[in-house]
Structure 1
Amino acid sequence: MTMMMWATEFGPSHEGRAAAVLADGSEPKPALFDAGSSAEVYETSDWWVYDGTLGTPRARAVRGACACGWRGEERFAIDWERVDPDAPDAYDLTGPYRAWKRHVGEVERRTVSLPADVQHLLEQLHERLTVLAEDAPLAALRAVGALEHTLAETGQRAAFGAWQDEQDWDAIATKLGLTEAHSRARLHKYNLY
């Protein structure tokens, strides 16, 4: 079973999850499990593996966590009696999720604003392509191909313009709502010079 992640338009820079919190307030190290006779070792930080069995410490609470390094201050007690070991993702994680959503909202407030007409067009395009994918999947794939071409061309111009602005990476990352590493990757993806 894999960790339940919460995603946004900011991709891997701001993927969220519930993080286990121990009695001393720290997060446990990733748990390692021997996969059997092979040399593979399974590593995870899923909150629910910290139930005090199989050599893991017992978590007292969970909190919102983000791939960017942010950790929510508010902790939410775990009622281990209500955690189904066969379906841990069914456990109520609305507290950590809401904390993470507030964090993402703060990130979004610091980003560069999209013009209202562009935002509206993107929403319309998403709605229309979603319907098209159901009704005519091949037409949707053709539209996606055309859109990818447009994105590559526009991305190249935008990346070139961003290089010309000579802003520092911290400012670029903040305005894009990404980590610095992901911001660099985004600009380098489109920069063909």
Structure 2
Amino acid sequence: MWEPDGAEGHVGKVGVLLDDGSVPGPVYIDMGSGGHVPAFTDWWLYNGSGRRPLASRMRAVCACGWSGAATYPIDWKRVEEDEPHHYDTSGPERDWECHTRDVVAGAVPVPEDIAHLISQLRQRLDEIGASDPLTVLRIMGELDSIVDTEGDYAAREASRTHTDQQIAAALGSTEKAAAARLRRYDRHRYI
């Protein structure tokens, strides 16, 4: 899994395709511990062993539903069974990074003066944190107070005037991540 920087909820990973171009369903692996058989979608499990499907190509996929157009062949002879993470998946990862950059570019920009203040605040908190964690906690309390007041109003207004999809795009996040953020901010609606 690849974690995004600035594109909340847009978690990426390697997805696979079969020879016919279809996306296989999850692989079920019986762990021998009861009636529950867990499902997995890790790309290296689609190696054709047992009853598993044999994937021929890989591509980037994202939690938001996006899939990369580019595909990359899988050379199963080069995939180490015990260490599949050593196999080169840089192509799909680059494609996913382009996707998240596009998501961030489509988000509402943070005003330059505010971005500068946030950067200064992060730097100052790093400086203080090593020697005085209690002061950092006090500062966090002040920031929480701002979030409680301003976030509540902004969440209610945004929900009133925009669709979930518009809000997610403006925040550079998935709809699920945006909904979670709105629930955190709009405490009156969800109490």
Classify the TM-score, shorter chain: 0.7 to 0.9
Helix, strand or coil: the match of 1:63?
Answer: strand
Letter in 2 for 1:43: A
* CA separation of 1:46 and 1:136: change in aligned 2, threshold 3 A: farther
Matched, 1:104 2:104: no
In structure 1, the partner of 2:78 is 82
Q: How big is the shift at 1:100?
A: 0.7
Greater length-normalized contact order (CA 8 Å, ≥ 6 residues apart): 2
* Structure 2: stretches of 5+ with no match in the other structure: none
In structure 2, the partner of 1:190 is 185
Give the alignment of 1:125-144 within 5 angstroms.
125-130=121-126, 132-133=128-129, 139-144=135-140
Cα distance in 1, alignment partners of residues 169 and 52 from structure 2: 37
Give the alignment of 1:1-193 within 5 angstroms.
4-12=1-9, 14-130=10-126, 132-133=128-129, 139-163=135-159, 166-191=161-186, 192-193=188-189
* CA separation of 1:152 and 1:50: change in aligned 2, threshold 3 A: same
Cα distance in 1, alignment partners of residues 173 and 149 from structure 2: 21
Helix, strand or coil: the match of 1:20?
Answer: strand
Q: Give the root-mean-square deviation of aligned CA atoms.
A: 2.4
Cα distance in 1, alignment partners of residues 42 and 109 from structure 2: 34
Query: When the two structures are superposed, what TM-score results if normalisation uses the length of structure 1?
Result: 0.83
Cα distance in 2, alignment partners of residues 107 and 20 from structure 1: 23
* CA separation of 1:134 and 1:16: change in aligned 2, threshold 3 A: farther
Query: When the two structures are superposed, what TM-score results if normalisation uses the length of structure 2?
Result: 0.84
Cα distance in 2, alignment partners of residues 190 and 128 from structure 1: 25
- Cα deviation, 1:31-83, whole Å, max 9, x if unaligned, reads 11011132231211000111111321111121010111000010011122222
* CA separation of 1:184 and 1:61: change in aligned 2, threshold 3 A: same
